Amino acid sequence: MTAETPDALGLVALRDPRSLAAEAYRTLRTNIQFSSLDKPLHTLLVTSTSADEGKSTTLANLAVTMAQAEQRVILVDCDLRRPSLHTFFNLQNDVGLTSMILAQDEMPIPLQSTSIPDLKLLASGPLPPRPADILGSRRMETVIERLRNEADVVLFDTPPVIAVTDAAVLATRVDGVLLVLQANKTSRERGRRAREILDKVKANIVGAVLNNAEIEQGYDYYA
C-alpha cells in the first residue's frame, strides 16, 4: 500500500495540524529532543520488525513537524527495497541516494524541495541489486557527512530490521534509531528480536513508537 491509497494517513501533520494524530507527531518530536539533551541527534534512522508498520508515515510526519519548528530537515529514503518517501510529497525517485553512490565524481546532492520550506528530500534513486552493500559502502559515509553539513536533522527511512541487514548496517552510522511497532500486531518476540539485532551492532535506540492504524483513524473521527 502506498500513501496515495484513499485510506492512507499520508502527511496528516501538514494536512490537519490540529488533529490528535498531528499532535502525537509533535509529542514524538519533543520526546526525541528531550531524549538527547546531552548529545544532540543530528542523524536519526527509523526501522521496524516487518513491513507496513508505519515507518515511512511516521518519519515523513516527524520530518514535517520538525521543519515546522524551523529546523532544517533532510529526509533520506534508504528503503532501497520499497522506497516510498517521494510519494508523500508527490515527487520522483529516479534520481537520489544511489545516484550519488554510483557517480564517478562527486556530484551535487540531488535534493528535492517539498512544499515545506525547511524540508528537503533525498529520494532513493534507482534500486540496486544489493542495498546493504550500498548502505555499508565508504561512499555512504561521505554522503552522510555531506548531508549533516546541509541540515540540522537528517532522517533515514529503512527496510524492516529483521528481514534484511540494511537497517542494522546503517544503524552503526547514525546518532540514533527509532523503532516503530504496531500496537496490536508486533509480537513481543519480534520486538525483542529487533532490539537484539540493533544492540548487537551497538545502535543507539532512542525510543519506540507504538503505531496503531485503527486508533489513529479513530483520532480523525474524534477530531
For residue 205, the minimal CB distance to ligand ADP (Å) is: 17
In the bound complex, what is the minimum distance in angstroms from residue 142's beta carbon to ligand ADP? 26
Cα distances (Å, whole numbers) of residue 194 to 41, 98, 158, 180: 21, 26, 13, 10
Which of 43, 49, 56, 68 binds ligand ADP (CB under 6 A)? It is 56
217 binds, among ligand ADP, Mg ion, none (CB under 5 to 8 A by kind): ligand ADP
Q: How far apart are CB 5 and ligand ADP at their closest, in Å? A: 6
Q: Contact with Mg ion (CB under 5 A): which of 43, 47, 49, 56?
A: 56
Where b means 16+ CB within 10 Å and e means fewer, 19-28 reads bbbbebbbeb
Beta pairing partners, 120: 74, 113
User: Torsion over CA of 82, 88, 91 and 94, rounded to 10 degrees?
Assistant: -10
Among positions 60-119, residues that touch ligand ADP (CB under 6 A) are 84
190 in contact with ligand ADP (CB under 6 A): no
C-beta neighbour count of 223 within 10 angstroms: 13
| Cα 32–Cα 220–Cα 4 angle in degrees, nearest 5 | 85
Question: What's the chain's Rg over C-alpha atoms?
Answer: 16
CB of 178 vs ligand ADP, minimal distance in Å: 12
Residues between 97 and 156 with contacts to Mg ion, criterion CB under 5 A: none
Residues of this chain that interact with ligand ADP (CB under 6 A) are 1, 3, 5, 8-9, 48, 51-57, 84, 211, 213, 216-217
